[in-house]
Amino acid sequence: MSSSETIPSTSSTSNVIDSHLHVWASPQEASKFPYFPGQEPNLPGNVDFLLQCMEEAGVDGALIVQPISHKFDHSYVTSVLKKYPTKFIGCRLANPADDGSGLKQFEHLVLKDGYRAVRFNPYLWPSGEKMTNEIGKTIFKRAGELNVAVGFMCMRGLDLHISEIEQLCTEFPSTLVLLDHLAFCKPPLNDKEDFVFSKLLNLARFPQVYVKFSALFRVSRTQLPYLDLSPLLSQLVSSFGANRVMWGSDFPFVVPECGYKGAKEAVQLIANQIPLPSSDLEWIMGKTAAQLFHSQLTVAKHE
């Protein structure tokens, strides 16, 4: 994609907010912010690199999702949130330990450190346990009470986890839900995949559910600008409304795939192909996240 192919920026007044990215300590910072053994990153993902990418791409704020490279040690992300309080908000990683320590850590990070979301990674649950077990329900319910959104990472397929998500949404309708990366649904190639994508669209019946149109390189079957995702975005907007869909880059994993700026521009090209009204694109590129987290990220760019 050449620069001449890009369409104009979504708006001169609305913030562009990245709903899904990660940061981790640089190797030089690892003595202070150690990596979890066996999860050492092989890409640069420190906040200075992120800020450089965001400035180049014209992105104003972001939701930082705790990376597996630091696992349940949130000290690096917390330090970034404290240093840049008007630019970033945090999503912590749920610790499903059955001794209750995960709930205490969750409450501390929300009440003391200002985290506004929590990520449920089902593959961190004990073997044989589901996200609907006692600790899962407790954290999910508490998230609703604290007005904290719960993100779901369905990396091995939405069909494996849809029943758990539906059960939690039904039992706790006040808890906001984020589905990371289109719930890992690729453009359907057969009846089974089409059925799973229809189940994703059917989650729109729960008013609390939002979808991240994020990590496009993970879900597209083509190269940048990932235009095979146009029908999926069109159906997402038809089912959920643009005000329940939000763009996310999946930095820094996106950088070697298409570049951070390329990830942002791809959404505009995909939307242009549908075509999507500019007002819908504004919601996807920032207004949805700003409204959802109704926090400091709603500050206008040119204030």
Which residues make Cβ contacts (< 8 Å) with residue 47, sequence separation at least 6?
Answer: 23, 80, 83, 84
Q: Return the number of other C-beta atoms located less than 10 Å from residue 83's C-beta.
A: 10
**Domain annotation covers residue 194:** yes
**pLDDT at residue 14, as a whole number:** 84
pLDDT in tens, 26-65: 999 999 999 999 999 999 999 999 999 999 999 999 999 9
**Domain annotation covers residue 6:** no
Cis peptide before 126 (omega within 30 of 0): no
**Domain annotation covers residue 290:** yes
**Domain annotation covers residue 10:** no
Expressed as residue numbers, the domain containing 172 is 18-298
**pLDDT at residue 8, as a whole number:** 37
Per DSSP, which regions of 198-290 are E strands? 209-214, 245-248
**Domain annotation covers residue 165:** yes
**Domain annotation covers residue 7:** no
Q: How many domains does the chain have?
A: 1
pTM of the model: 0.93
CA atoms within 13 A on the CB side of 251: 33
Contact 161, 152 (CB under 8 A): yes
Sheet bearing 61-65, strands edge to edge: 17-21, 61-65, 88-93, 117-120, 149-152, 177-179, 209-214, 245-248
CATH number at residue 159: 3.20.20.140
**Domain annotation covers residue 303:** no
**Domain annotation covers residue 157:** yes
Tokens representing residue 284 in the block: 């996807």
pLDDT in tens, 111-140: 999 999 999 999 999 999 999 999 999 999
Tokens representing residue 168 in the block: 């939690």
**pLDDT at residue 299, as a whole number:** 47
Identify the residue whose tokens are 């289109």. 182
pLDDT in tens, 138-187: 999 999 999 999 999 999 999 999 999 999 999 999 999 999 999 999 99
